[in-house]
A = this chain, B = another copy of it.
Amino acid sequence: MNSELSAIIESLIFTADSALSTDRICDLLTEFERGEVKSALSGLVEYHQGRGGGFELIEVAGGWQFRTRPAFHSYITRHIKTRAAKFSQSALETLAIVAYRQPLTRAEVEHLRGVDCGGVLKTLLEKHLVRILGKKDIPGRPLIYGTSKEFLEVFGLKDLKSLPTLREIQALGEQPKFERQEELQLEPDKVIPMESYLPFE
């Protein structure tokens, strides 16, 4: 591993104000081969994971970003005002529907939820978690919605494919029928193979 290159990449990611994609890093560092950059990146991820520091290198929203380890949030919030990351149940539900069913229209969201969703959609648009993709080619040309890059960032997802499939979610729901209400605990050892992650069946 080229350690000079690793250090340069670290400095780039460290100072960027949002996740930096591999493509972008390669564009900036034209003097290095793409292969070199990629192997330096995976070396860095491993290194930061292994050292057990206060932050780690995470792949999120199609890019790389240093993020604090969740275990320390109670210390961090002692001096940082938490950005409004409060979600109502209906906001989360609507977001889930948009995430799994995108691209879709408001009417489709409302059919699935059985309730008017204009207000929730507007809030999600304002929070930049949902975005307008365009208009559907059907009478009335309704707006179509999808999730945004911010959605991936906020929920710490590498890409949409890393969402669990609906089938997996259903399987979770079928286990404890009545106790499931409050906290959905997942077995930590349940490893789902990457290939099965296609959420859009």
Contacts and interface: CB of A to CB of B under 8 A. Distances in A.
Contacts of A134: 156-158, 162
A10 B14 CA distance: 14
A contact residues, range: 35 or more
Contact of A69 (B7, B90, B132): B7
Interface of A: 3, 6-17, 20, 24, 28-29, 52-55, 66, 68-72, 74-76, 78-80, 82-83, 86-90, 106, 115-122, 125, 132-135, 141-143, 156-158, 161-164, 168-169, 171-176, 179-186, 188, 191-192, 194-201
19 contacts: A7-B69, A11-B69, A11-B75, A14-B54, A70-B194, A70-B197, A86-B185, A87-B184, A116-B179, A118-B172, A118-B174, A119-B175, A120-B179, A122-B169, A156-B198, A163-B200, A164-B199, A186-B196, A191-B201
